Amino acid sequence: MNEVMVLIVDDEEDMRNLIRMYLENSRLHCEEASNAKEALQKIETSVVDIVLLDIMMPEVDGFELCEKIRESSNIPIIFLTAKGEEWDRVRGLKAGADDYVVKPFSPGELVARIDAVLRRVNRSPFREGDFEKYGILEVDSKGRQVKVSGQPVTLTLKEFDLLHYFIRHVNQVISRDILLETIWGYDYEGSTRTVDTHIKTLRIKLGEAGSCIQTVWGVGYKFEVS
């Protein structure tokens, strides 16, 4: 199963813990935020695949936070709230949410809604098959094989792991520190220049398809697919 990170944004700790339990039982990974400020910091500094967002929060409510996120990100957002009136649903969708789930909900429904939204943006951890195609780039995750314009490309272990991580987080900016920690591990003693060196080689090997890996100056990289 592909690794997916869910950010749970709710000011009630008990609710966050309950949702986290549901999702981790389905082998999804979770981060938590208790307010808008924490949520924006998590989105800026971590790789988040989808946000579960409560509406009724102090200071900045879910509607405002959703609009704020949409100013700079197209990350999928699902409202998860007790406010089930039609007007609230309409306002939530107009604010930029991808779906709206009313409390109380079943664990099965929540996971299904997450899956449905992620499928629409091609990030679902539950989709069948391990073969993915991005223009002239073809990646077989299970067989760890890569082709460009139908021709096989030989990658090292770390090069493939980098490419695989990028295609799990299409169109998201990923910092060098996150890539270093994820691919090389927290105890790796090298510098982020290791990341730059491997990505440079990876781009060369991918040839024309290497342009998908964009440098975001001062931050890191982004696997960009139009």
- Residues 15, 21: Cα–Cα separation, whole Å: 10
Architecture of domain 131-223: Orthogonal Bundle (1.10)
pLDDT of residue 105: 77
Instruction: Quote the Cα angle for 179-182-186, to 5°.
Output: 110
pLDDT single digits (tens) 17-30: 999 988 887 778 89
40 or 94: which leads in pLDDT: 40
pLDDT of residue 6: 94
Handedness of CA 57, 38, 25, 14 (dihedral sign): negative
Q: Report the side by side order of strands in the sheet with 220-223.
A: 173-175, 220-223, 213-216
pLDDT single digits (tens) 133-160: 888 999 887 677 899 999 999 988 889 8
Q: What average pLDDT does this structure show over 65-88?
A: 83
156 or 181: which leads in pLDDT: 156
Using pLDDT thresholds of 50, 70 and 90, give the confidence band for residue 128.
Answer: very low
- Residue spans per domain, the chain: 5-120, 131-223
Q: Pull the structure tokens for residue 152.
A: 């096989």
- Residues 186, 98: Cα–Cα separation, whole Å: 34
pLDDT single digits (tens) 55-70: 989 889 999 999 999 8
pLDDT, the chain, mean: 84
Architecture of domain 5-120: 3-Layer(aba) Sandwich (3.40)
pLDDT of residue 93: 81
Comparing 3-7, 102-106, 153-157, the range with the smallest average pLDDT is 102-106
Maximum Cα interatomic distance, the chain, rounded to a whole number of Å: 55
pLDDT of residue 1: 38
Residue 226 confidence (pLDDT) above 70: no
Using pLDDT thresholds of 50, 70 and 90, give the confidence band for residue 113.
Answer: confident
pLDDT of residue 79: 92
Using pLDDT thresholds of 50, 70 and 90, give the confidence band for residue 210.
Answer: very high
